[in-house]
Structure 1
Amino acid sequence: MSLSAQSLTYPSSLQEYAVSEQDFLRLHPEYQVLCTGIVVFNSEGKLLLVQRAVDEKAYPNFWEIPGGKVDDTDETILQAAARELKEEAGLEAIRVVRKVGQFTFSDGRPGRPAITWLKLIFEMEVRDSTNVVLDPVEHQKFLFASEDEIVKDLVGDVKLAYVSPPNKEVKLEAFRLQREALPS
């Protein structure tokens, strides 16, 4: 299937994410905000990680996959993920491979009701994974990590620290799904 605003293809199993944020939230009132995370593997089978900027208000210096909030102007959730990948890493998504996972988190402030966020993680194939260009306002470094490096939280001499355990778990899940998809 193809999305109209971009030449981004996706399997029919992801049709439920080829809708606007508003339409998705109407069907899932337990969530108030949607955000995406994008898994990108390079030709060596390593996963792209980006390090949050040192002066980021939330979680400076932590490692993550590219992604961000779905905007009202995004035609679909899948397009939002492709947009975030382009904004944060300069990479052009050409195909959504699969949904890797999801997790929720709450943003509760004193005196306000908690807001529940749903983070949807998709693996995407990109035009050229060697051409990473970071948005310096959001991220300061990038690297590609193997599954073993993710397990050990260490890439060379770079110590990996994540925002939360689900952030690490989804990376390991991406490697598992990639392995399962390989022909035997």
Structure 2
Amino acid sequence: MGDIKAFSGVAPPAPTPFTSPDSLATFKFPLKAYLQEHPEFNSIAVAAVVFNDDGKLLIVQRAAHDSFPMLWEIPGGACDYEDESLLHAVARELWEESGLRAKSIITLVGKGLPIPYRGNRCMCKYSFLAEVEQHDVKLDPNEHQAFLWVTEEEARAGKCGDVEFKYTTKEQQLTVCEAFKLRNDGQAQEN
């Protein structure tokens, strides 16, 4: 626990099909169609919140040579016009950044986060709770250099074992906290 895990192995096979509930129907459209319905946005980014069997959340450390160098985030990135839908972009980004294959994209975490950039442009970032087939993380060293599975307390404190970490943005930290709240609320409803 708390050990930084670095890249190990070769790229995994392409992501497998995943399931998603009807409540996410809004995100089952290709990027072009979604942007036509939401002209206030110029682009869309997505992220995948993943918990392991011990209830720990996956965070990844950005590569030293990339934007937001050495800061931490949940796996994600920009939707591409080639993605079948925004949800397919979630599965693709999760696979590209962590080697994990989405089994199910369960629900939206929080709300979309509008992010202004380059003057009058605006991107919206959506984060989704995802269930994966296995938890064997394999990073792409061009994008991320380490990963951690963190408890809620560690996520809030910014420290896991001997590793201190900072998130890419305050909003990223809030998304992590919202993910734990959503997970805890879901467990309470199951009991």
Deviations 1:113-158 (A, max 9, x none): 33211001001100001x1000000000001001001111111111
Deviation larger for 5-14 or 75-84: 5-14
Q: 1:49 aligns with which of 40, 56, 59?
A: 59
Deviations 1:3-51 (A, max 9, x none): xx95210111000100011111111111111010110000000000000
Q: 1:63 aligns with which of 72, 84, 92?
A: 72
Deviations 1:58-81 (A, max 9, x none): 100000000000001001000001
Structure 2 residue 99 is the aligned partner of structure 1 residue 90? yes
Inter-partner Cα distance in structure 1 for 2:164 and 2:123? 28
Q: Which runs of 4+ in 1 moved over 6 A?
A: none
Match of 1:114 in 2: 120
Contact 2:46/2:78 (<8 A) preserved? yes
Q: 1:171 aligns with which of 170, 176, 181?
A: 176
Structure 2 residue 161 is the aligned partner of structure 1 residue 152? no
Structure 2 residue 86 is the aligned partner of structure 1 residue 77? yes
SS in 1 for 2:139: coil
Contact 2:16/2:101 (<8 A) preserved? no
Provide TM-score, normalisation by structure 1: 0.92
Inter-partner Cα distance in structure 2 for 1:64 and 1:9? 24
Q: Say what the alpha-carbon RMSD is for the aligned residues.
A: 1.2
Inter-partner Cα distance in structure 2 for 1:32 and 1:7? 28
Provide TM-score, normalisation by structure 2: 0.88
Q: Which runs of 5+ in 2 are unaligned?
A: 1-14
- Identical positions, percent: 38
Instruction: Give the counterpart letter for 1:136 in structure 2.
Output: P
Aligned residue-pair number: 174
Instruction: Give the counterpart letter for 1:171 in structure 2.
Output: V
Q: What is the deviation of 1:105?
A: 1.1
Contact 2:51/2:57 (<8 A) preserved? yes
Inter-partner Cα distance in structure 1 for 2:172 and 2:140? 21
Compare relative contact order (CA 8 Å, sep 6+) and give the higher one, 1 or 2: 2
SS in 1 for 2:130: strand
SS in 2 for 1:121: strand
Q: Which runs of 5+ in 1 are unaligned?
A: none
SS in 1 for 2:107: strand
